[in-house]
Structure formats: structure tokens, C-alpha cells
Structure 1
Amino acid sequence: MVKIETFAVEQWMDLYEDNAKHNLAETCCASLSLKDLQSLSGEETDIIDFSHKQTYGAIRGSKALRSNIAKLYSSELTTPLTSENVLVTNGAIQANFLALYASVGPGDHVICHYPTYQQLYSVPKSFGAEVSLWKSSEENDWTLDLAELKSLIQPNTKLIIINNPQNPTGAIIERETLQEIVNIAKQHDITIHCDEVYRPLFHSLGPDVPENPPSILDFGYEKTVSTSSMSKAFSLAGIRLGWVASRSSEIIEACADARHYTLISVGQLDDSVATHALSTSCIGNLLKRNTELAQQNLKDLEEFVRDYESKAAWVRPRAGTTAFIKFIKNGVPVDDVAFCQHLYENNGVMLAPGSQCFGDGKDFKGYVRVGYVPERQVLVDGLKALREFMENGFKSVPLATQ
């Protein structure tokens, strides 16, 4: 039996989210109904054709859907992707699993951006690969050190895994760094796997970054893989639809071969909803809605951190839906698991503890992940309850053990 580590953040979500009064651990932009989606597109045509027979449908995803996904990667600097460059999956979590399954095995070495979603390093390890963590730190604004990347490469390094925008910090990898990663990978014939599930929600780049960082597929290097889904930036987690995209037909075919063992096809209803959401008439309004919500909510979260600056520290997120906040007492990190448990039990607010969900109990003590792009009132009420806890319950939270 293949041994795989407990998926800590998903276990935590499963344990607490159903009964949370204020769920600030959710990482999706505020969810949409089909009625909301239709309103955003301004079209009266039904999203779902109720007369259409529900067969398996297109095995790899409908051509209309895959074409719309391919347009997400359109760039004036590179050859546009086509529907053949896209494989539809059951969410980004399956896209990541398939791409990793098709890429690595025993005897291979993998380098993984860290901190990040645990799947990206635990799954390769379960396949028998050796995994080296390419660590970023708050002291350096969660940026990556390219000299360290070079030092981690081994003769058997098969894959470099990155996450852009990054979960849980909300940091981004800028164009220049992405280009250097591509250059290094080319030099050593290494495939790059980029989880881009929070793309293109670049809501706070600032004047120093004049454009959104490109997708990893925009650099013209064939041995690149992008995974994403409709869940985070597109507010449609309920349709459970994601994809693998690559310029390499070999990579797409390998993922398709593996996919036959796990999924015949995604549901036709899900396919239809995603096709509509990514259509020209809808996608612009959808992303505008989510970008404005992220910007507005982030201002409130920033105000909270500023008001409690002696107890809370962060690097302000530049993209995505998550922030990584460190809670401290007299400069010493608190026990983040106890913090989250006390907060949940006393004030009904759900957050995700950094050391348990992203650090294997060792790293990121004192950190918690906050999902700040739920519906507006959810964030307002959740922050109010969090403030009450900081005034009345924070003093009872123990310090982290060294």
C-alpha cells in the first residue's frame, strides 16, 4: 500500500467548517449561484440545456470549454494555446494529482516551493520521489532565492513545483523570477509544474509591478504544466471542475492516460456551467466582481492588522484570496493551533493554523491562514468576532513551544 501523509489542511477544514459561525478559512472567492452567473453575463439563454441527454459527454471536456480555458493563456508573445493543450479534470486537486502521477516516481527528485498547498509535496513523496523544499520566508516578503534553487538541483531532479499566486501567503512570483526559473529548468531539462489556481486574481500588485505576472506557459518552454480550476478566482467550487494545460502533447497524453483510471469524464452540467463562466460575455464581469471584492475586503483585514500591530504581523497579500498572519505576544509566536481552537470555541470564527496545516508542526508557528474574499458581510462579521477575541480571549492563548 502506498503511504501518504495526512492531508492536514483538508482534515482541518473537514473538522470545523460545517459548523463555523464565521468561516474565514474559506479560500474561494464568494460563491455564485447559476442565477448570479447568468446575471453577470447579461444573457437570457439558459446556462444548462434541460433537453440535452446526460451521457458521459466529451471525455476530455467539451471543445467549447477547452477552447475557453486555452484563451486564459493567450499571450501576444507566444503561440496561443488550443483546445488540444487542455485536459479537463475534477477540480485542480485532481489536475495536480494526475500531472504529478504522470511526472515522477521512485528514484526521481522534486523541488517544491514552500510554504504551499500540502498536496504539491506530499503526493510526489508518496510516489517514491525525494522532495526538497524550496523555502521562502516572511523576512524576504515570501520571495524565492534563485541561488538556492540552483543549489537544490541534483542529477535526478525531474520536476520543479511552484505555486503562483501562493497559498497561503498571497505572494506572487514576478515575471523576472519566473523567467529565471524557466532558464534554470531548461538548462537542466527539468519540467516545471505551476499550480495557478488563484490566477488571475492579481488585485494588489502596486506601482512596482506594471502588469500581471504571466502564466508559466507564456515563456515558450514546452516542459511546463499549469493546473487550475473554477473554484478560487471564478467562484464556482461547487461544479468541481479543473484542468491541466501544457504546450507539451506528451504531458497532456500522459495525464490523459492516467486520468482513465480515475475519471471517465466530468459531468456535462459542470462542463456547461464552466463554459458559460469563461465565455467572453461573462468572464470579464466575473473577474471584476471578484477583484473588487478582494480589494475591499483586504482593506478591512489590513485595518485589523494595523490595529493589533503589536500582536499580529504579516506581509500584505498581493494576489489570490489568502493571507498568512503571525500572532505574537511580546515578540514570541503563540500556539497557532490553540489560537484557532480557542477562537472557534469562544467566538465561532474559523481560521487555519499555519504550523499544523502548512508546516508539519515544525514551521510557521504562530501563523494562521485567513481567507478574506467571502461575501462582504461574512468578512465584516468575522472580523468583528475576531476583534472581540483579541480583546477578551487572546490573553489565554499559550505561546508556541520551541
Structure 2
Amino acid sequence: MTEQTLNGSDVRYRAPYLEWAKTRPSAEFDLAGSNILPCSLDDLPGGREAIALWGANDNGYAPLMEAIAARYGAQASQVTTASGTSGANFLVYAALLSPGDAVLVERPGYDPLLGAARMFGAATIRFDRTFESGFALDPDRVRRAISPRTKLIVVTHPHNPGGVAADAGALHEIGRLAEQHAAHVLVDEVYLDATPLASSRGAIRGDVFLRTSSLTKSYGLSSLRCGWVIASEALTYRLRRARDIVDGTGSIVAERLGALAFQHLDRLNARAHQILRTNAHLVGEFLASRRDLEWVPSVGTVVFPRIRGVNDASAFAERLMNDTRTAVVPGRFFEAPAHFRLGYGGDTEKLRGGLERLAGALDAGGR
């Protein structure tokens, strides 16, 4: 392997945040993740018995697709299974994009949503969800960015990294704009089930929308990589044929366990909400005590504060890790370098310890 290959200079497509997340040092107090505290197999009654190496899942495991459809108000014929939400998003790009097309992607945003579009030869055009607006989804910004080349508009709900819900009226208007331009709207809902706003899915109606999610972030089941797309039947056919090329089928072991998880989803959801109620209270108290931080209230598993008077929080995040073994995500990975992302879906005592060390680092000079 050449030095050029080792330093990545000949890599055509990159997701800098994910590369950082996979290669960063292990933290004692990890506030960089956005998942709910992982479940154990004991949290999934019948899990050991459900493990089997056989089953028909050519177009997805039928019991899993039926469970997804029942849970989210769709038909099984509208469900495409995928490897996590990132895999689901990739299938949407693969099914809908051609070289020369344009994709509108929010900023700040999650970097794989940019890299995947580039892999298919599409241009990424940005529209802003600004701190000053509370990271609100603004249809006027989308209207100014859309063009005849636009084939897809990508929205996260709640916003990653801001943790702010998308307004139902704004989603409706963006759907109308997409229809006028023969485009579609991808709504990434991976954090939505962990919020009090899951019922807001009712605002997302019509064949113009594709909804992606998984059991990964909201239920503590990230290792299953159980994701899906819900779309019209016509688009679902295209998505399934895209999966034929991408990875053929999913893991029958994971899909059987995913189907079992749906039988216990209400209990797992209650577990997640209890963790978040406790942890969100701790984070809220911490943020309210800090005059050196500015933030927008979050409904998800992350919040995205910024340090007053600091243009780039990267050095602060690095020092926090080196000095205290506490990790947060530098905002530069979301194109908002003044910020850092703080996750609070994990272990409560680790969160408490991490916040104490974060406070100490800020007191020592958050620059």
C-alpha cells in the first residue's frame, strides 16, 4: 500500500465525521454518540430462541416488513428493508439519482447524506437551517435552492445535529415544491421514535415523500442494523431493485431479531423515553447554568451548543478529550465549527461524569 493510499489522498468519496467516529480514541465519558443506551439480549425476550440461519427474505423478511408497516401506518408492499437508516438512505439515492441531477441537503447536516449523492454523480446543493432561526426548516430557503435539476430534497426530522423537530407545515410546503419540480422528499426519521413527536408522521403524506428509519438510534438496537424505507409501491419496486445490486438481501439473523424486536417495541420505547427524560433533565440543568454556551432546545438524543466568542470549537473538543477522556463531536463535521454535538442517550452516570468534566474544561477557558 502506498503512502498516498494510506493518507487517503486518492479516496474518491469520504464521510469525514464517520471516519473520525471510527478512528478516534476511546473515551471514558463518551458524549459523542447519539444512540440510546444499547440493549442486552435479555432486553429482547425470546432473542436466543429467534436466532436461526434460515428464512425467506429475498425482498425482505415478511414478518419484519409486516411489523414495520403496521407500526408506521403503511402496507408491507411499501416497505424496503435496509442495513440501518444509512443503508436505507443510500438505497433512495441509488433508486432516484442519475449523473447531473441535483440533491438539496440541509446545512448543518450529516455528512454521509452528501457523500452518497456524489457517488451517483449528483450535485449537492445546500439550504440552511440556521442557529438564529432555531434550526427551523424554512421552505423559502428550499424554494430558492430548487431547480429543474433537483430530484431529491433531504431533511432530517429531528434535525441532526440540532435535535430540532421539523414543522409539519414546512414539510407539507416542501412536499408541494417537490411535486411542482417532479422531485421527491427524503425524510430521515431515525431519531423520531425517541421523541414525544412520533405522531407527527401523520403530516408526511403523499407519494412525494420517502421516509427512512431504523431500530438503531431510538431503541438501543444498533447492532441489528435493522433499517427501512417507506414509500409508494412504485418507488418501492425501484428501491428493492436497487438493493438487488447493493447487497442483494439483508441478514436473515438480523431480520428475524428485528421482527422479534417489534413485538416488544412498546416496552423498548418506554425504556428509551425513561433514559431520555432523566438525561435530558441533567443536560438542561447543565446548559442553563452555563453563560458561556448558547444552544437551541432539542427534542432528540443530541444537542448542538456553541461557545460564546469561539469561532471553532475543534481545539476545545480535542483538549477535552486529551485532558479528561471526555468526547464530544466537533461541529466542523457538520459544517458548523463554532458548535459541538453532545449526545445524552447513554448511561446516566457516564453522562453526569462527562458533564462535570465538560464544565471544568469550560471553566478553564473554552477556547
1:161 aligns with 2:154: yes
Gaps of 5+ in 2: 1-9
Aligned-residue CA RMSD in angstroms?
2.0
- How far, CA to CA, are the matches of 2:253 and 2:348 in structure 1? 28
Q: Deviations over 1:214-253 (max 9, x none)?
A: 266x41x213211111110111001122112112x23222
Q: Is the 8 A contact 2:104 2:150 kept in 1?
A: yes
Matched position secondary structure for 1:261: helix
Are 2:366 and 1:367 aligned?
no
2:143 to 116, 140, 150: 150
Query: Which residue number corresponds to residue 42 of structure 1?
Result: none
Q: Is the 8 A contact 1:29 1:321 kept in 2?
A: yes
Distance, in Å, in 2 between the alignment partners of 1:152 and 1:369 is 27
Per-residue Cα deviation, 1:329-386 (whole angstroms, up to 9, x for no partner): xxx225311111100000010111011x111xxxx22200111110211211211221
3-state SS in 2 of match to 1:138:
coil
Residue in 1 that maps onto 2:329: 352
Is residue 202 of structure 2 the alignment partner of residue 202 of structure 1? Answer: no
Letter in structure 1 aligned against 2:307: F
8 Å Cα contact 1:92-1:197 kept in structure 2? yes
More helix by share: 2
- Determine the C-alpha separation between the residues in 2 that align with 1:334 and 1:107: 35
Alignment partner of 1:82 out of 60, 72, 75 = 75
- Aligned pair in 2 of structure 1 residues 3, 161: CA closer, same or farther (>3 Å)? farther
Corresponding residue to 1:250 among 221, 234, 253: 234
- 1:285 maps to 2:246: no
Tell me if 1:110 matches 2:109. no
- AA partner of residue 279 (structure 2): N
Partner residue in 1 for 2:251: 267
**Which of residues 34, 43, 49 in structure 2 aligns to 1:36?**
43
Q: Deviations over 1:159-205 (max 9, x none)?
A: 111111111100111211111112222222211111111122224x7
For 2:214 and 2:132, how far apart are their aligned partners in 1? 31
8 Å CA contact retained: 2:29, 2:354: yes
Alpha-carbon spacing, 1:212–1:313, altered in 2? closer, same or farther (3 Å): farther
Cα pair distance change 1:348/1:13, threshold 3 Å: same
The 1:167–1:215 alpha-carbon spacing in structure 2 relative to 1, beyond 3 Å, is: farther
Q: Which amino acid aligns with 1:256?
A: R
Are the equivalent residues in 1 in contact too, given 2:158–2:165 (CA < 8 A)?
yes
Cα distance in 1, alignment partners of residues 241 and 75 from structure 2: 20
Residue 385, structure 1, aligned to residue 357, structure 2 = yes
Q: Deviations over 1:278-307 (max 9, x none)?
A: 12xx21121122122112211111111122
Instruction: State yes or no: 1:232 paired with 2:225.
Output: no
Rate the CA distance shift 1:128–1:3 in 2: closer, same or farther, 3 A.
Answer: farther
> Could you tell me which amino acid in structure 2 is paired with residue 261 of structure 1?
I
Partner of 1:314: 295
- TM-aligned CA distance change 1:99 to 1:50, over 3 Å: closer
Which residue pairs with 1:61 in the alignment? Answer: 60
CA–CA separation in structure 1 for the residues paired with 2:162 and 2:51: 45
Distance 1:110 1:315, change over 3 A: same
Give the counterpart letter for 1:13 in structure 2: A
TM-superposed CA distance for 1:264, in Å, is 2.9
Pair 1:34–1:184, CA change in 2 (3 A): same
Matched, 1:295 2:288: no
Q: Which amino acid aligns with 2:319?
A: H
Contact 1:105 1:124 in 2 (8 A): no
* Offset at residue 141 of structure 1 (A): 0.6
- Alignment TM-score, normalising by the size of structure 2: 0.92
Distance 1:56 1:265, change over 3 A: farther
Structure 1 residue 3: Cα displacement:
6.6
C-alpha spacing 1:21/1:342, structure 2 compared with 1 (3 Å): same
- Aligned partner letter, 1:296: T
Q: Distance in 1 between matches of 2:155 and 2:51?
A: 43
Partner of 1:336: 313
- Give the residue type in structure 2 aligned to 1:230: L
2:5 corresponding residue in structure 1: none
Q: Percent identity?
A: 25
Change in Cα spacing, 1:83 to 1:378, as seen in structure 2 (3 Å) is same
The code of the aligned residue for 1:333 comes to: V
* Partner residue of 1:241 out of 203, 220, 226: 226
Contact 2:98 2:120 in 1 (8 A): yes
- What is the rounded CA distance, in whole Å, between the counterparts of 2:62 and 2:182 in structure 1? 31
The whole-number CA distance in structure 1 between the counterparts of 2:84 and 2:363 is 40
Question: What SS does the corresponding residue of 1:117 show, helix, strand or coil?
Answer: coil
Q: Which amino acid aligns with 1:352?
A: V
Structure 1 residues 48, 266: CA separation in 2 closer, same or farther (over 3 Å shift)? farther
Distance 2:283 2:293 in 1: 11
Counterpart amino acid of residue 24 in structure 1: L
Between the two proteins, the alignment pairs up a number of residues equal to 358
* Cα contact 2:305–2:341 (8 A) shared by 1: yes
Q: Can you give the 5+ residue segments of structure 1 that lack an aligned partner in the other structure?
A: 39-45, 75-80, 206-210, 398-402
TM-aligned CA deviation for residue 107 of structure 1: 1.8
